Chains A and B, each alone.
Chain A
Amino acid sequence: MLHAPSRRELLFASGTLFAWSYMPRLAHAEGRDPRFLTIILRGALDGLATVAPVGDPNWVALRGNEALTLDSKVAPLKLNDFFALNPAMPNLHRMFKTNEAIVVHACATPYRERSHFDGQDLLESGLPKPVPSESGWLNRALGSLAPGGKVDPKGSKVFAVGPVTPLVVRGPAQVLSWSPQRVMPASDDTAARLLELYRHSDTKLASVLEDSGRMSAMEHSGDMAQKAGGPGPAQVRAYFSEAAGNAAKFLSQPDGPRVGALALDGWDTHVNEGIAQGRLSQLLGALDDALAAVKTNMGTAWRDTVVVLATEFGRTAHINGTDGTDHGTATVALLVGGALKGGRVIADWPGLKEADLYEKRDLKPTTDLRAVLKGVLKDHLRADERALAQTVFPGSDSVKPMPGLVG
């Protein structure tokens, strides 16, 4: 009797976040035509599970059986003698090997609390404190581009289709945007949180949600990971690749936008994190596919491309009581692109002994994410250094742009 919709109907409208800066007039004097894409990973990515410090003697004790080690059943992908990449990311590993990827470890924004919302705001606003902001650093960066540089600041626009523009690209520059056709269904994580709430408060709703079929992949994430992934992970994969891949298509066009941003959700892994097999592994695999899609779709523009992946903060160094990790501090920032001087892990490694941890629980931040971003904006887009310190990342005079990221 009731209208039973198909999945297809859910794909009718859009719901994601990708926006870009449109820069129609470019100076090609240096023979390059730079592309810059920022991917915000919402939810706090576990940097230690993404790029594991396998050479640190205190590493295994922190994570126990969950620790990625070179003799793990599913071995991580070696980056150097000290760090190894999560095995779900072979594409990123290949880019690293061809000097097209950089890992910055023990990296964090200036935010030292542990609220997702404030942390994401600060990551995107570029402000030193979590105060309300109407604009993001990427938008303001457009105003900081040095005259005569590669990108003419006049005529720059931030372009955004879609229901909500990420804060990082909001601001005075005009915003235009685009949204994937695909609707991102609620993640298994969201469903799991809801189920947990229902189990405590409304058992009838809980049993309905359990029976709705969407929980099966998640409840047995360990087993499911070995199969080809349930519908949930497959949808996440498709969505990540469509969002990032299309961003690259737009950026690659000769008269297309040059700067863009998008956000990918789902990284808040408190329970059954599934580092080698399971939830995080699936998410990292989806992200890895998305990076490959960016490279493919950039075509020849890949050599002029830098992609920065950043998250609001990291996760606890220790595993918690539910085989997951809680909100932490330092994490990784990942950079990929043909314009990079890559093949390096950049880390002033703080160590993992208890005394070395921030507040005895988190990886201690030793690199300010703003230094990384400022380095890319300055050397890749030729942003003005003074403006970077004053308007793009206000109050960041002491945080110098990291040199030598771009080749």
Chain B
Amino acid sequence: MTAAVKTSGKDAAALALHRFGFGAAGDQIAAIAGDPRGALLADLDRPNAGVPTVDLPSSGQAARAVFDFRAEEQAKQKLALRAVKESEANGMSQNGASAMTDAGNTAAVPKPPNQPPPLPQQILFNEAKARFDAAASANIGLVERLVWFWSNHFCVSADKIPAMAGAYEREAIRPHVLGRFADLLIAAESHPAMLFYLDNVESMGADSVGGINRDKGLNENLARETLELHTLGVRSGYSQEDVTSFAKVLTGWTWFPPAELERGGEFVFSRRIHEPGDQTVLGKVYPDTGVEQGRAVLADLAHHPATAQHIAQKLARHFVADEPPPSLVTKLANTFTASDGNLKQVAKTLVTSDEAWMPQRQKLKSPAEWVMGVLRLTGTEAAVPVPRIMNVQAVLGQPLWRPPAPNGYADIEAAWIDGVGRRLDIANELAGRVGTADPLALLDSGLGPLASADTRGTIARAESRRQAVALLVMAPEYLRR
């Protein structure tokens, strides 16, 4: 296997840009052909790589702003209803009846054209734009790919918490994608977006003061998904007792309700609803140290061998193959364990392992990754409106920050391949924006030596630039990495 692997030259450069970045564009293939691995390592070693540079509202600010917005909307509706009732009382009941129906149904109120979108949507658009811009402007994009990977691993859904979905990625994921896994884990599980998404804000210790007074108790959702999805992995040896105990540990991890003027939407540990007492998780006793009790459990989960194996498997699957080489998974898990979960070291092991450079391209790009590649290759990211990019991703089954379940979007070919027919229509649409760029030059930029003679001929024979570019980004060499 090792003998077949090339790690320098244009082939390797093009392979690296597709497998570890968002696909080649411009003169990138030539630029890194001398040392593709070195270019990937340099991407990881950039100071502050991954750290957000945009100035957008924090998740707390966004949650409070959205609460205010909704309160105002509600007040407006109430005033409208009140006006209807007053006119009814004044004997104008005939018209009043229908007006009341309208006023009570927000969907029936027509929106004036060219109005800015409502605030929650605008917040989401701004966050999406920041994400798209970061990916489009990244040199290679390995770190952005890692951001997308970890954001999907620790996913929340904008369907449940639209105000925070983007801010969550900036606050909990980005600062840690090249840091320690334990820090990433604690940042994700303690983020108000996650606490709300997985219902921990509802969970109370049955024996806590709050629980007793309100006759409420545990919600296990966050504890279970942390074990099953975020750390150890399913069927890795934990029991229902572990889940229950861990859920008790996590009680009190909550937020200030968004209605709170000063700190609404921010994390708070509330001892009032925290289950008192020691808890045993995976055979270890954790004394009740308040919020530190949960941090201690998470720190131990981060260092558990099953976690190393689970993360290694997912990373290798994401970057290399649906069924990744076991030797690669072992290497990644070993680095994970030996480096105290240093994710930069793990990423470096990934890009320096021969198994990750196999010339066979076994992964079908996910829709979101593919769309970003097309936008980068054609230089059209800035020209396509953000809502349209989001719509395109949704049409292809991968709406931004709206995974169907807490396990995030699937990372295997079977999940996406049936959408290839739809991709063609999207390719056709995006290719319509290319203008007078030379399709064969784009082919050299986007695929270089990866392009087969068949693909090159198909593009050269296309009846228009638009068709040529659509065929280019739909070629097997472009879809697969």
Instruction: State yes or no: do A and B come from one complex.
Output: yes
Tell me the minimal C-beta distance from A212 to chain B in angstroms: 3
Once the chains bind, are A117 and B438 in contact (CB under 8 Å)?
Answer: yes
Query: Which among B435, B436, B476 is the interface contact of A201 at CB below 8 angstroms?
Result: B476
Provide the residues of chain A in CB contact with B474, threshold 8 Å. Answer: 194
Query: Which among B395, B433, B434, B464 is the interface contact of A265 at CB below 8 angstroms?
Result: B464
> What CA separation (Å) do A5 and B395 show in the bound complex?
5
Q: A2-B404, A5-B395 are in contact. Are A10 and B463 (CB under 8 A)?
A: no
Once the chains bind, are B421 and A208 in contact (CB under 8 Å)?
Answer: yes
Once the chains bind, are B463 and A205 in contact (CB under 8 Å)?
Answer: no
Q: What DSSP secondary structure best describes chain B's contact surface? A: helix
Provide the residues of chain A in CB contact with B466, threshold 8 Å. Answer: 42, 265
* Selected interface stretch from B33-41, B203-211, B347-355, B422-430: B422-430
Once the chains bind, are B397 and A190 in contact (CB under 8 Å)?
Answer: no
Once the chains bind, are B417 and A205 in contact (CB under 8 Å)?
Answer: yes
Tell me the minimal C-beta distance from A169 to chain B in angstroms: 13
Provide the residues of chain A in CB contact with B404, threshold 8 Å. Answer: 1-3
Provide the residues of chain B in CB contact with A234, threshold 8 Å. Answer: none
Size of the chain B interface, CB-CB below 8 angstroms: 47
Once the chains bind, are B388 and A13 in contact (CB under 8 Å)?
Answer: yes
Tell me the minimal C-beta distance from B324 to chain A in angstroms: 19
Q: A196-B458, A201-B476 are in contact. Are A191 and B391 (CB under 8 A)?
A: no
Provide the residues of chain B in CB contact with A117, threshold 8 Å. Answer: 438-439, 464-465, 468
Query: Which among A16, A44, A184, A200 is the interface contact of B454 at CB below 8 angstroms?
Result: A200
- Asked if B55 is at the interface (CB within 8 A of a chain A CB), the reply is no
Query: Which among A190, A200, A208 is the interface contact of B471 at CB below 8 angstroms?
Result: A190
Tell me the minimal C-beta distance from A92 to chain B in angstroms: 22
Query: Using an 8 Å CB-CB cutoff, how does the interface string of A187-202 with B read, 1 for contact, 0 for none?
Result: 1011101101110111
> What CA separation (Å) do A197 and B479 show in the bound complex?
13
Query: Using an 8 Å CB-CB cutoff, how does the interface string of B126-150 with A read, 1 for contact, 0 for none?
Result: 0000000000000000000000000
Residue of A nearest to B480 (CB): A202
Query: Using an 8 Å CB-CB cutoff, how does the interface string of A1-30 with B read, 1 for contact, 0 for none?
Result: 111110001101101110000000000000
Query: Using an 8 Å CB-CB cutoff, how does the interface string of A292-306 with B read, 1 for contact, 0 for none?
Result: 000000000000000
User: Total number of A-B contacts with CB less than 8 angstroms?
Assistant: 137
- Asked if A238 is at the interface (CB within 8 A of a chain B CB), the reply is no
- Asked if B475 is at the interface (CB within 8 A of a chain A CB), the reply is yes
Once the chains bind, are A164 and B434 in contact (CB under 8 Å)?
Answer: yes
Once the chains bind, are B420 and A209 in contact (CB under 8 Å)?
Answer: yes
- Asked if A347 is at the interface (CB within 8 A of a chain B CB), the reply is no
Query: Which among A196, A200, A213 is the interface contact of B421 at CB below 8 angstroms?
Result: A213
- Asked if B104 is at the interface (CB within 8 A of a chain A CB), the reply is no
Provide the residues of chain B in CB contact with A190, threshold 8 Å. Answer: 424, 428, 467, 470-471
> What CA separation (Å) do A116 and B399 show in the bound complex?
36
Size of the chain A interface, CB-CB below 8 angstroms: 52
State which residues 378-426 of B face A: CB under 8 Å.
383, 388, 391, 394-397, 399, 404-405, 415, 417-418, 420-422, 424-425
Residue of A nearest to B402 (CB): A3
Most buried by B among A5, A183, A186, A191: A186
> What CA separation (Å) do A204 and B433 show in the bound complex?
29
> What CA separation (Å) do A371 and B391 show in the bound complex?
46
Residue of A nearest to B384 (CB): A163
Question: A residues bordering B, Cβ < 8 Å?
Answer: 1-5, 9-10, 12-13, 15-17, 42-44, 116-117, 120-121, 132, 163-164, 167, 183-187, 189-191, 193-194, 196-198, 200-202, 204-205, 208-209, 211-214, 265-268, 270
Given contact pairs A42-B464, A120-B465, A266-B463, a sample of 14 additional A-B residue pairs in the complex whose CB atoms are under 8 Å apart: A1-B404, A1-B405, A5-B422, A10-B395, A12-B388, A12-B391, A116-B463, A120-B464, A132-B436, A185-B425, A190-B467, A197-B476, A200-B454, A214-B424
Question: B residues bordering A, Cβ < 8 Å?
Answer: 383, 388, 391, 394-397, 399, 404-405, 415, 417-418, 420-422, 424-425, 427-429, 432-436, 438-439, 452, 454-455, 458, 461-468, 470-471, 474-476, 479-480
Q: 9 A–B contact pairs at CB < 8 A? A: A117-B468, A184-B429, A184-B432, A186-B424, A186-B470, A193-B462, A202-B476, A265-B464, A268-B467
- Give the 4 A-B CB pairs with smallest separation, nearest first: A212-B421, A268-B463, A43-B463, A186-B428
